[in-house]
Amino acid sequence: MAGASGLAAADAIARRYGLLPPDSSGIFGAGETLTYATQSLLTRHAAAREFPPSMISANPFAVPIAPPTDAFQRSRAIGFSDWQLSVDGLVRRPTRFSLADLKAMPVQSQITEVACEEGWSYVAEWIGTPLHHVLREVGVLPAARYVAYFSVEPDQWDSLDIHEAFHPQTILAMGMNNGDLPVAFGGPLRMRVPLQIGYKNIKFIHHITVTDSMKRYGKGLGSASPEGGYAWFAGI
């Protein structure tokens, strides 16, 4: 009973502060709301741990990916010179960026950990453009609440709330450990979210959309993960 009324109170507070995650209904909904609301209030201004170069993993493990499509292979053969990131939705200036456009923006390097929900992790240096630079470039409209991002790999997509999207450590990674980002690790363009668990770090990003609701995407739970039983909010 105490647990149930605690969850009800958490739900009421979360609603008041606009802290309901997209997967807040359903069996685990109250628990997801409690986790998201408390953690996002705590971590909104927090930073993921950054490591010294001596901590970079010698043998980082890449989760095996589905065989890239023919279109991906053709792009790879020309050094991804035709790769496009389209950014649209609740923005003033929908824009298509090439990798060269992104590299011309301010670039950040971070040595952070990727942690998979299955229990392993590794530390690497990630080099890329902070997502907030891209979002400022396109001009996010005030109604925006989420930023959804999509891979060229089918069914690989996720979203962040607007605070996480503007977090200084959320970057569009194009480099890893002083080289180009290898395809196995999501090259040429990967969402790198060190404050969230591995599966939010989607590889081969080609589309970003800014929205006020995640209801229109997939089953409306905010990402592909809750459709498979994992939480949308996966803060660490």
Ligand X SMILES: Nc1nc2c(c(=O)[nH]1)N[C@H]1C(S)=C(S)[C@@H](COP(=O)(O)O)O[C@H]1N2
Give yes or no for residue 192 binding ligand X (CB under 6 A).
no
The pattern of x and - marking residues 47 through 66 that bind ligand X according to CB under 6 A reads --------------xxx-x-
Please identify, among the stretches 1-9, 24-32, 167-175, 194-202, the one whose residues bind ligand X according to the rule CB under 6 A.
Answer: 194-202
Q: How many CB atoms lie within 10 A of CB 9?
A: 11
Taking CB under 6 A as the criterion, the residue among 19, 48, 202, 224 binding ligand X is 202
Give yes or no for residue 199 binding ligand X (CB under 6 A).
yes
The pattern of x and - marking residues 186 through 225 that bind Mo ion according to CB under 5 A reads ------------xx--------------------------
Q: Is the dihedral of CA 226, 118, 195, 192 positive or negative?
A: negative
Nearer to Mo ion, 33 or 156 (CB): 156
Give yes or no for residue 206 binding ligand X (CB under 6 A).
no
Nearer to ligand X, 30 or 157 (CB): 157
Would you state the torsion angle of the CA atoms of residues 26, 145, 204, 115, taken in this order, to the nearest 10 degrees? -60
Among 208, 169, 225, 210, smallest CA distance to 45 is for 169
How distant is the alpha carbon of residue 186 from its chain centre?
A: 13
**Secondary structure E strands in the chain:** 85-89, 95-97, 108-115, 121-130, 146-151, 157-161, 171-176, 179-180, 190-192, 205-211
Give yes or no for residue 156 binding ligand X (CB under 6 A).
yes
Q: Identity (one letter) of the amino acid at 76?
A: R
- The contact set with ligand X (CB under 6 A) reads 61-63, 65, 114, 116, 151, 153, 156, 185, 198-199, 201-204
